[in-house]
Amino acid sequence: MVTIRRARPQDAPAMAQVHVAAWRSAYAGILPDAYLEALSATREAASYERAILARRGGHAGFVAVADAQEDAAQGIIGFATGGLARRPGLAEGEVETLYLLDDFRDRGIGRRLMRASASHLASLGVQSAFAWVLADNPARWFYERLGARLMARERVAIGGRALTQLAYGWAPIHTLLTATASTRLPR
């Protein structure tokens, strides 16, 4: 069984491990191998810990914890973060990250993490939300299945490579809350 809960500062190292693993899996062949290999869980952990502690702009993180693990920090298999939009104009709120280990995909966990993020954003009074997704990300269909509509596209440079990222949005945010209301049970 997997539990979703609010992220704590001590979760940052495990969140960083998931982040690095998810990027290496999702972006293999999209981003340069050298860039993916150079990703640092230590650097990411420090960033996540700072964000969890600071809570700027209503920032919050939610972790998916596999209950079978003895140490909850080591049992983190996915997470989502978000808060008020970092850049105005697209929506009021932003789902900044959503990462899940490959072995736990297609079990409704990503949907549950999105629900936690959307509920948090709604509690802040946010009426609309969006998430940036690389156009070449093979899992971008996930956002479309949750009722997101394409709001914007832009060019970004990551690892020395020019890529297109897409902003998928939900306006009103209740569209996302409704789409994530029910989840499939794990098989």
All structural domains of the chain, each given as residue ranges with its CATH number in brackets, are: 2-179 (3.40.630.30)
Global confidence as pTM = 0.91
- pLDDT value of residue 35: 97
User: pLDDT at residue 185 above 50?
Assistant: no
The rounded percent of the chain whose pLDDT value lies above 70 is 93
Average pLDDT over residues 17-32: 96
Better-scored residue on pLDDT, 73 or 60: 60
* Average pLDDT of the residues in 69-98: 85
Closest CA to 106 of 134, 75, 133, 145: 145
The string of pLDDT tens digits covering residues 132-155 is: 999 999 889 999 999 999 999 999
